[in-house]
Structure 1
């Protein structure tokens, strides 16, 4: 049973509560409009880091924990909260822009690589890795069987004209270069993981990476970031659930400065580095790096907040990927 017992508050009461906790509001009408349009709970993720911190220690324990008080840090304002919200929204859109380009390019890479051997390679277990097609999990199924189920669901649900055209003219299954257009990024990432080592390595080399295992890790992490952004969730200071592997020293020299820095590898900074690296292959003439830098240069000024909360280390401007 839920123990939630906080009272329902009108928008005016919500704003009064925030002001009572020390959040400055210079334009109450604008603040109320934001609460009506965006919502108290969604905005709370952006004023949370502006709340004061309190150190606590349980009786008989030497461990000190850091908690957030209800009161805000001196100088915190509703306008800063909104600026951080808008910054995060623009960041999500930039990330989705880059991921889309990478996803489209990877679809071509996969279908071109395997399609030359079999137009229906995705339906041919012999062309995929044995761990993907033969290793049975606790449910008695292989990862490939689960992936095929998902693939068939995507085909059945699709209302795309090209799907109806191929079904009517040729029937199923679709050739790989057609089928791949129905896959979500997660499906594409899983299929890449299930490819044979030589095929994965060949595609990874196109992105200047030493092996397919590294790209496989990057794709999983990109899928996580993409899902956060696509569902309009807070991204800017998100902890990475599936942290990407970093190349060994010297393998991709541009990443050498971030090797051995756990705080960097667990935050968005490393994902932005990965996007910058891959975008220089996929869209070398794109203005995306400049637009990202422009956004970062305008990071909202607020008490206690900085790009370090995103994992940006000191001197990041001089790192090869950011010059």
Structure 2
């Protein structure tokens, strides 16, 4: 399908929004946001403000209006809901930006803590355990991909090698000059990113996974591995400045059995809640509680969530991010 949408000036972009029913109370300020943030980025925040038709119907039934097919098979029209304003979209954008920054703060602490957990556990077996297939899970270290002919371990080592070659850290230079390669796991782990550590954790032997997971109140290390994988997805969303608050989570975490981790129970069997970021925020808070019991992150998260913009007139609230009923009563 050929792309036929023309270039529009900022003035024309704003005029188009007004024609579609968006309220603009300060034209100069709205133009400034279009110039500094961009129409396309902001459109992700005013998208939920757009009118929906009834259940899917032929184009003729939309009275000639353009539409997109939404995830619920309702037609997403160009016109905005009554009362939707440009300022509403900006407020939602600012809330989302604050949320991403807060999440990155938590993930930094979790990433560092997990580096220590993994390197300490494997390092006890051998300072270079990360190189030795026999010390890792067999499917990770020995099973070959039909397309590449490589194991997941080989691909992980390649990724780690890239991180080492890119690193400008003095401790890497020092250890390389004094001892040469390979570097012991408690040194090289310091250049791992979240994806690298979560992949290695997934490749550890089940008993080693279980031992680390148990520190965090989770008996099954494979479930804990899915938590780390989902947090890595969350980290990538935040690091790339993508919309977070109501994002559909592609890499969803698995849940422990009912009763094992009490706060998890309201999410069991709830497809909407499992596919929204609030669950991942809860996982981050759970891990931080063990890593740093004095952390104020949970209180800061609560304060931010309570600042969610008043968007009831366009049908939006914290349910859109998967918040469970009564979440504010949790001892965060």
- Is the structural similarity TM-score above 0.5? yes
Q: Does 1:309 align with 2:308?
A: no
SS in 1 for 2:105: helix
Where structure 2 has 5 or more consecutive residues not aligned to the other structure, the ranges are: 60-71
Q: 2:64 maps to which residue?
A: none
Instruction: Determine which of 184, 187, 194 is the counterpart of 2:193.
Output: 184
Q: 1:276 maps to which residue?
A: 285
Shift of 1:47: 0.5
Q: 1:57 maps to which residue?
A: 57
Name the CA distance, whole Å, in 2 between partners of 1:179 and 1:141: 22
Shift of 1:30: 0.8
**Contact 2:220–2:256 at 8 Å: present in 1 too?**
no
Shift of 1:157: 1.6
Count of paired positions: 316
- How do 1:149-298 and structure 2 match up within 5 A? 149-298=158-307
CA deviation string 1:43-70 (max 9, x = no partner)? 00000000111223249xxxx8202111
Name the CA distance, whole Å, in 2 between partners of 1:259 and 1:80: 33
**Contact 1:21–1:71 at 8 Å: present in 2 too?**
yes
Q: Does 1:124 align with 2:132?
A: yes
SS in 2 for 1:187: helix
Name the CA distance, whole Å, in 2 between partners of 1:282 and 1:186: 19
Name the CA distance, whole Å, in 2 between partners of 1:27 and 1:313: 36
Q: Does 1:15 align with 2:14?
A: yes
CA deviation string 1:142-177 (max 9, x = no partner)? 100111111111111212211111111111111101
Aligned in 2, Cα 1:220/1:210: closer, same or farther, shift over 3 Å?
Answer: same
Name the CA distance, whole Å, in 2 between partners of 1:271 and 1:191: 20
Q: Does 1:31 align with 2:34?
A: no
Q: 2:108 maps to which residue?
A: 100
CA deviation string 1:106-155 (max 9, x = no partner)? 00001111112211111111211111111111121110011111111111
Q: Does 1:142 align with 2:151?
A: yes
SS in 2 for 1:69: strand
Shift of 1:316: 2.8
Name the CA distance, whole Å, in 2 between partners of 1:269 and 1:148: 33
**Contact 2:302–2:328 at 8 Å: present in 1 too?**
no
TM-score (norm 1): 0.95
Q: Does 1:86 align with 2:94?
A: yes
TM-score (norm 2): 0.92
**Contact 2:266–2:324 at 8 Å: present in 1 too?**
no
Q: 1:6 maps to which residue?
A: 5
